[in-house]
C-alpha cells in the first residue's frame, strides 16, 4: 500500500514546486508606489562623475598591510662580489685545501695542497686562491694567504689565513 502512495506523493511535490516556480513574484510596496508616481527624480548633475576618496583619518586602501623590505636599504659593510669567472685555484677557498708539502728550490718556494677528494695542486707565492685570496708567503711549515675584499662603502677588509703543514701523527 505504501508503494502505491510514493509515486503519488512524488508527483504532488513536483507539481507544487512547478507552481511555486512559475508563480509571479509579489512586488514590494515601494515598487508599486514608484510605478504610481512615475520615475524618481534624478540627482542634480554636478558635471563631475569622478568619485573622490578622502584619506582624512582613514588608511590608504591601496597600501599593503605588510611592507616588503625595500631594496634600496643596502648595508654599506656588505662585501661586493665581482662578476669574474673563477679558474684554477680560485675555485677553492683556503679552508677547502690542506697543506701537504713545502719545498724550497733556491729562491723559489713551492707548496703542495690537496682538496677534499685527495687531488693535489702545486702553488707558489702570488697564486690566486678563492674569490679574494692571494698566496702572500710560503714558510717552512705554513702557507699564508691574504684575502682582500671590498665593501659597498669602498673599504677594504684584509684577512689572513694560515694553512699549516701537519706533522706525522697530527689529524
CATH code of 164's domain: 2.30.30.830
Nearest to 36 by CA among 44, 27, 45: 27
Do residues 24 and 65 both lie within one domain?
Answer: no
pLDDT of residue 4: 64
Do residues 142 and 68 both lie within one domain?
Answer: yes
Do residues 78 and 15 both lie within one domain?
Answer: no
Top-confidence residue, 57 or 144? 144
pLDDT of residue 62: 82
d(CA 75, CA 70) in angstroms, rounded, equals: 12
Contact 71, 109 (CB under 8 A): no
Domain count, the chain: 2
Does residue 133 fall inside a structural domain?
Answer: yes
Contact 138, 70 (CB under 8 A): no
Does residue 12 fall inside a structural domain?
Answer: yes
Domain span at residue 19 reads 2-37
pLDDT(1) > 60: no
Does residue 43 fall inside a structural domain?
Answer: no
pLDDT(91) > 80: yes
Question: What tens digit of pLDDT does each residue of 3-34 get?
Answer: 666 777 777 777 787 787 777 766 655 554 44
Do residues 88 and 136 both lie within one domain?
Answer: yes
d(CA 135, CA 125) in angstroms, rounded, equals: 5
Do residues 90 and 145 both lie within one domain?
Answer: yes
Do residues 110 and 143 both lie within one domain?
Answer: yes
pLDDT of residue 126: 92
Most confident of 27-31, 61-65, 70-74, 104-108: 104-108
In angstroms, how far apart are the furthest CA atoms of the chain? Answer: 120
pTM for the model stands at: 0.54
- Compute, in degrees rounded to 10, the torsion defined by CA atoms 67, 72, 76, 80: 110
Helix (H, G, I), strand (E, B) or coil at 124: strand
Angle at 56 between CA 55 and CA 60, to 5 degrees: 30
Does residue 20 fall inside a structural domain?
Answer: yes
Amino acid at each position: 500500500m505504501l508503494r502505491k502512495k510514493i509515486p503519488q506523493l512524488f508527483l504532488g511535490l513536483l507539481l507544487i514546486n512547478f507552481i511555486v516556480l512559475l508563480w509571479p513574484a509579489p512586488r514590494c510596496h515601494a515598487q508599486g508606489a514608484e510605478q504610481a508616481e512615475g520615475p524618481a527624480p534624478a540627482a542634480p548633475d554636478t558635471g563631475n562623475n569622478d568619485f573622490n576618496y578622502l584619506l582624512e583619518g582613514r588608511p590608504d586602501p591601496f597600501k599593503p598591510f605588510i611592507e616588503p623590505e625595500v631594496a634600496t636599504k643596502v648595508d654599506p659593510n656588505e662585501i661586493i662580489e665581482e662578476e669574474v669567472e673563477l679558474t684554477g685555484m680560485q675555485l677553492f677557498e683556503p679552508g677547502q685545501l690542506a697543506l701537504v708539502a713545502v719545498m724550497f728550490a733556491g729562491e723559489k718556494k713551492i707548496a703542495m695542497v690537496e682538496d677534499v677528494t685527495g687531488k693535489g695542486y702545486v702553488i707558489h707565492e702570488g697564486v690566486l686562491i678563492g674569490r679574494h685570496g692571494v698566496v702572500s708567503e710560503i714558510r717552512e711549515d705554513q702557507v699564508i694567504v691574504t684575502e682582500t675584499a671590498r665593501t659597498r662603502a669602498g673599504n677594504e677588509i684584509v684577512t689572513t689565513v694560515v694553512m699549516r703543514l701537519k706533522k706525522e701523527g697530527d689529524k
